[in-house]
């Protein structure tokens, strides 16, 4: 796929439309967020933080955005409805100083607060201004292969009092959480779990990896 340049051919051609559609599918993780429980700390208007996790084809939409309140920091607490292997993030704001300049990622620390942001992040990125949502920041997949809660701390912007974000795209794979719990219940229901343990665990391990 990376072989050919997007040089001379016409836009009517199917080849051009192929890549964005596929990319959109890869960025469908927002559908796996438990939106009811998603929190954004220091947002100006309550609930705005939820709005920036939107479909790929709305990534440049300017209607829905979140703006920071007391200072330039924002902290998103993002619970997923299962387990996620996170591969990349896109973060897009205005082409001015309100655009986030640094992003720090923490995994599996539910209910994080600004007090917790002093600890070492699992990964941190210096951000570029990206008004068209084109830049992906690749995560260390080994570190983010089993994420059920992701915190994104925007620690600074390019120099103004408040930070504005239009779109946060999450790319990766999703695994149902309940598979595991079902297996556990089965053990409890069986008279002699020892007979079943090995059998039911093996296919599952293969399936997940």
Round to whole Å and give the CA distance between 95 and 164.
10
Place of tokens 């409890």: 188
pLDDT digits (tens, 9 = 90+) for 90-123: 999 999 999 999 999 999 999 999 999 999 999 9
Round to whole Å and give the CA distance between 20 and 25.
9
pLDDT digits (tens, 9 = 90+) for 136-160: 999 999 999 999 999 999 999 999 9
Nearest-5° angle of CA 149, CA 155, CA 165?
A: 75
What is the C-alpha radius of gyration for the chain, rounded to an integer number of angstroms?
A: 20
Place of tokens 């084809």: 57
Domain borders along the chain are: 14-175, 177-209
pLDDT at 104: 98
pLDDT at 179: 52
Q: What is the 3-state secondary structure (H, E, C) of 34-56?
A: CHHHCEEECECCCCHHHHCCCCH
pLDDT at 141: 95
pLDDT at 32: 96
pLDDT at 21: 67
Task: Report the chain's mean pLDDT, rounded to a whole number.
Answer: 84
Phi, psi of 58 (to 5 degrees): -105, 15
CB under 8 Å to 28, separation ≥6 — which residues?
56
CA 55 to chain centre: 12
pLDDT at 42: 98
pLDDT at 2: 45
CATH number of 14-175: 2.60.120.470
Token pair in block for residue 95: 């082409």
Segments in the chain below pLDDT 70 = 1-21, 177-209
Strand partners, 170: 89
pLDDT at 176: 82
């Amino acid at each position: 796929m990376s072989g050919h340049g997007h040089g001379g051919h016409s836009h009517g051609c199917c080849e051009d439309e192929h890549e964005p559609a596929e990319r959109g599918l890869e960025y469908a993780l927002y559908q796996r967020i438990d939106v009811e429980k998603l929190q954004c700390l220091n947002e100006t208007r309550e609930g705005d933080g939820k709005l920036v996790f939107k479909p790929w084809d709305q990534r440049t939409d300017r209607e829905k955005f979140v703006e920071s309140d007391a200072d330039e920091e924002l902290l998103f607490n993002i619970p997923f409805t299962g387990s996620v292997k996170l591969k990349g993030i896109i973060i897009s704001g205005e082409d001015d100083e309100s655009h986030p300049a640094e992003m720090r990622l923490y995994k599996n620390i539910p209910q994080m607060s600004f007090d917790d942001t002093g600890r070492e992040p699992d990964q941190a990125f210096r951000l570029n201004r990206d008004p068209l949502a084109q830049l992906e920041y690749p995560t260390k997949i080994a570190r983010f292969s089993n994420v059920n809660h992701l915190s994104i701390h925007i620690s600074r912007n390019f120099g103004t009092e408040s930070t504005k974000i239009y779109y946060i795209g999450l790319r990766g794979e999703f695994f149902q959480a309940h598979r595991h719990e079902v297996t556990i219940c089965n053990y409890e229901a069986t008279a002699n779990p020892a007979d079943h343990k090995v059998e039911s665990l093996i296919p599952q391990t293969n399936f997940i990896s």
